[in-house]
Every structure is written in structure tokens, then in C-alpha cells.
């Protein structure tokens, strides 16, 4: 009977130790939940990078396939024009600004 009690105490202690490790120890539920959140964040970041890579690959294929994309890029980014074309620059005029009201209060006319 005494041996059975010792075995029972050892088994309960072992169970308590395993439960402690499961809930609070290294590799426990808290750590697993944190790692799962990190994996989800990395998966979202990977999806964004995949989309960016696909867009860049499409742009590279477009640039390799014809001159239209190269011409468009040269016009937009470098401001280039074809020979024989006339370049016009449209400048918007900013509305005139009113003088500061604080400066008028200090000066008085004689």
C-alpha cells in the first residue's frame, strides 16, 4: 500500500511538472501563440512583397518587349521629347498674397 502511494505522489508531481511546462515553460502555449502571430505577420509581409515583385516583373517584361514603354518612361521621368516636337511648359500663377494685418497696426500715417 505504501508503494502505491509513493507511485501516486510521483505521478501527480510529474503531471504537475508537465502542466507547468505546457502553460508557462519554454515552448509553452504563450510562446506558441507569439510565434503564430509572428508567422502571420511575416506571411502578410511576404504577400505584399510577392505583389511588388509581380509588378516589377511585369514592368521589366514591358520594357523588354517594345519601345513604347521606354518612350513613355523617357517622356515622364526624363522630360525628353522627339525630334520635331515642340515643348510647351504650362505654369500656373499663384494667387497674390495679402499683406500681413499685424504690420499695418504698428505703422500710423501722419
pLDDT score of 19: 83
pLDDT-derived band at 42 (thresholds 50, 70, 90) equals very high
Range of the domain at 43: 2-89
Is residue 9 situated within a structural domain? yes
Q: Are 46 and 40 in contact (CB under 8 A)?
A: no
Determine the average pLDDT of the residues in 15-41: 85
Residue 52 has pLDDT above 70, yes or no: yes
pLDDT category at 57 given cuts 50, 70, 90 is: very high
Contact 74, 80 (CB under 8 A): yes
What's residue 64's pLDDT? 84
In-domain check, residue 95: no
The domain total for the chain is 1
In a domain, 47, yes or no: yes
Q: Residue 102: is its pLDDT beyond 60?
A: no
Is residue 110 assigned to a domain? no
Q: How confident is the model at residue 43 (pLDDT cuts 50, 70, 90)?
A: very high
Return the higher-pLDDT residue of 96 and 32: 32
Amino acid at each position: 500500500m505504501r508503494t502505491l502511494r509513493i507511485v501516486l505522489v510521483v505521478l501527480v508531481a510529474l503531471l504537475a511538472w508537465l502542466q507547468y511546462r505546457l502553460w508557462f515553460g519554454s515552448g509553452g502555449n504563450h510562446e506558441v501563440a507569439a510565434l503564430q502571430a509572428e508567422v502571420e505577420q511575416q506571411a502578410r509581409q511576404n504577400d505584399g512583397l510577392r505583389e511588388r515583385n509581380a509588378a516589377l516583373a511585369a514592368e521589366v517584361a514591358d520594357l523588354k518587349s517594345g519601345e513604347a514603354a521606354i518612350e513613355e518612361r523617357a517622356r515622364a521621368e526624363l522630360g525628353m521629347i522627339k525630334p520635331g516636337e515642340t515643348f510647351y511648359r504650362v505654369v500656373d500663377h499663384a494667387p497674390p498674397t495679402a499683406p500681413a494685418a499685424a504690420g499695418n497696426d504698428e505703422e500710423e500715417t501722419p
